[in-house]
């Protein structure tokens, strides 16, 4: 969105009065809420994995099939994928300036995040149900 060089209006003057981009606050709050949720969830995940390090198939699936563990794992992976998608979006918006490439990357991140979330949900539910 390069400003025309022939225009005498400043970039600030052009956007003044147009209001906010509407979506910024939502992104900011979702990023912080998922961060907050991930504090206890990540601590639980790290403990769970470390305490079951080297566990064989039977022990691992027994742990993952307990409803409480399956629920916590679902919350962890969903909050994690969501938080990561929001974060990577910010990184792309900060560093990728070519419009086409930026939009392609943002769409790819969102699609990949959705696919990953669905795959993880199916895996966890298959173990638990």
User: Which stretches of the chain bind other proteins, using CB under 8 A?
Assistant: 32, 35-36, 38-39, 42-43, 46-47, 49-54, 56-57, 60-61, 64, 73, 77, 80-81, 84, 87-88, 91, 116, 119-120, 122-124, 126-127
Nearest C-alpha neighbor of 73 from the set 100, 94, 97, 52: 52
As measured in angstroms, the least distance from the Cβ of 5 to other proteins is 25
Distance CA 94, CA 75 (A): 29
Alpha-carbon torsion 23, 29, 35, 37, what sign?
A: negative
As measured in angstroms, the least distance from the Cβ of 87 to other proteins is 5
As measured in angstroms, the least distance from the Cβ of 121 to other proteins is 10
User: Which residue, 3 or 91, is less far from other proteins as judged by CB?
Assistant: 91
Q: Mind giving me the DSSP string for 50-79?
A: HHTTT--HHHHHHHHHSHHHHHHHHHHHHH
Distance CA 110, CA 92 (A): 12
As measured in angstroms, the least distance from the Cβ of 111 to other proteins is 14
Q: Mind giving me the DSSP string for 2-23?
A: PPPTT--S-HHHHHTTS---SS
């Amino acid at each position: 969105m390069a400003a025309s060089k022939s225009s005498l209006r400043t970039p600030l003057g052009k956007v003044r009065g147009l209001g906010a981009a509407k979506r910024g606050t939502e992104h900011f709050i979702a990023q912080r809420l998922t961060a907050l949720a991930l504090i206890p969830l990540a601590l639980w995940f790290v403990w769970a994995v470390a305490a079951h390090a080297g566990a064989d198939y039977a022990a691992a699936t027994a742990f993952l099939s307990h409803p409480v563990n399956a629920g916590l794992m679902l919350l962890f992976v969903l909050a994690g994928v969501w938080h990561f998608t929001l974060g990577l979006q910010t990184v792309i918006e900060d560093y990728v300036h070519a419009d086409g490439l930026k939009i392609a990357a943002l769409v790819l991140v969102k699609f990949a995040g959705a696919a990953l979330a669905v795959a993880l949900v199916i895996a966890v539910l298959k173990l638990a149900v």
